[in-house]
Amino acid sequence: MRSTKPRTRTARASRSPHLTLLVATRKGAWLFHGDGARKAWRVDGPHFLGHVINHVVLDPRDGRTLLAAAKTGHLGPTVFRSTDLGRRWKEATRPPAFPKEPEREKGRARAVDHTFFLTPGHAAEPGTWYAGTSPHGLFRSDDGGATWEPVSGLNDDPRYRKWMGGPQDGTPDGPKLHSIVVDPRDPAHLFLGMSSGGVHESRDRGRSWTPLVKGLEVVGGLDPSNIAFHDPHTVRLSPADPDRLWQQNHCGIYRLDQPSDTWERVGRSMPRRVGDIGFPLVLHPRDRDTAWVFPMDGSDVWPRTCVEGRAAAYVTRNGGRTWRRLDGGLPQSQAWWTVKRQAMTGDARDPVGLYLGTTGGELWTSRDEGERWACLARGLPEIYALDVAEPAR
Amino acid sequence: MKVLVPTPLRSYTAAGAVEADGATVAEVLADLDRRYPGIRFRMIDEQDRMRPHMRFFVNGEQVFDLARPLRPGDEVQIVQALSGG
């Protein structure tokens, strides 16, 4: 197994043995503080009750800065920042926003509806963050999230303008730019995914981008050479091997080992009655061959529920050659919910802890890599995103 | 002039009615943003369009153009068209 020191574990020795689950929902954010054994959890929240929170992320570089992507059903989008683990929040002075378009472009003028995805930049670039928005847009902050600038190399590239979605595209809640990934070996090496817009790679810190879609399937009858027909749901870079990318796509589960530029559909070995359609994907922190997914019903009208109403994650331990069902403790009837693309995550402990949040407002945890699941919370609003972090002492 | 502020925006103003100056609705909103930084972007997008569900009235009459002139003594009302669950 190849391995590289993951950037998220820098300075771990100074970190608390405790974990914090960051829960972003349709009606606010909650923090669940866990003990070292991951058995007892203390709830802190709601924060921003009534706000649509698409993502809450802790900066692993300092262990205490939180960023939250927020809007309400009626107010425009913004980003809130806390430097004391959520005790006090301050709004960004310049949230992600597209430049004002000239009058002749008014018909195509873009405005950020919401920030969907947040990720800290490279360990060598403290203060740098990236944000992905709906409609598709990439933004960067170099001051810890206080002010944001558009990444013009993507947002204004005429090719990308053709591929990016408009209000009628993408998910029912608008096209998303998501899965912004920074190579832990090189701050200039970036990946991102766009719902109905493909997977893309930059080697110059976002100044230029190249599609990375070879080998990916598209919906039957459509032309795979049209980037707009490619619909990545989640893209992840292996912490154990940064040459390896995994992807849960609208059309299956894929893996790519660079320098190859061709994705391999490793989800074909999933049980036929379950299929390999879903949204989230979690990678093992130390084993490049282990990945977890949470399949959903992607038949006819895309019900997007647990397949047959029976909840289960699936794991591969051999790079996608075979998959095994993990449903211990999860409901095996009448589970008509699903797990959104950002609502499943894992910690870096041994054994790895897994966490999933449902569209029905339930939080489920596993301390043994998915063998047994227990419900941590019920009655939350629809869960949009889940991150697990190790706060500073 | 007096500006009535709906509850979702009172985290900025801490009051339901505040004062702001301007010869047009757009200028009043710009002045509000100077007094309460960040409040304008929650109502008006980066293309200077009113956001969906945001409505503006002057003396009870709905405004569709932010260039609408104002006179001293006018009252601006900001209203949110609350809907959904």
pLDDT digits (tens, 9 = 90+) for A116-125: 999 999 999 9
Q: Could you tell me if A272 lies within 8 Å of chain B, comparing CB atoms?
A: no
Q: Rounded distance, CA A20 to CA A183, Å?
A: 24
Band of pLDDT at residue B80, cut at 50, 70 and 90: confident
User: A180-216 burial, b for 16+ CB within 10 Å, e for fewer?
Assistant: bbbbbeebebbbbbbbbbbbbbbeebbeebebbbeeb
Chain B partners of A75 at a C-beta cutoff of 8 Å? 8-9, 42-43, 51, 80
Per-window interface: B 42-61 vs A, CB < 8 A: 42-49, 51-54
Closest Cα in chain A to B47: A100
A27, A50 Cβ separation under 8 angstroms: yes
Q: Between chains, do B84 and A73 touch, taking CB under 8 Å as contact?
A: yes
Q: Could you tell me if A97 lies within 8 Å of chain B, comparing CB atoms?
A: yes
Q: Between chains, do B41 and A99 touch, taking CB under 8 Å as contact?
A: no
Q: Could you tell me if A112 lies within 8 Å of chain B, comparing CB atoms?
A: yes
Q: Between chains, do B45 and A76 touch, taking CB under 8 Å as contact?
A: yes
With 50 as the cut, is the pLDDT of residue A360 above it? yes
Cα separation values, A40 from A18, A33, A268, A365, A370, Å: 10, 8, 38, 12, 18
Q: What is the pLDDT of residues A221-262, one digit of tens each?
A: 889 999 999 999 999 999 999 999 999 999 999 999 999 999
User: What pLDDT, on the 0 to 100 scale, is given for residue A167?
Assistant: 59
Q: What is the mean pLDDT of residues A264-281?
A: 97
Which residues are CB-neighbours of A151 under 8 A, at least 6 positions away? A130, A138, A139, A140, A206
Return the SS3 of A326.
Answer: strand
List beta partners, residue A238: A241
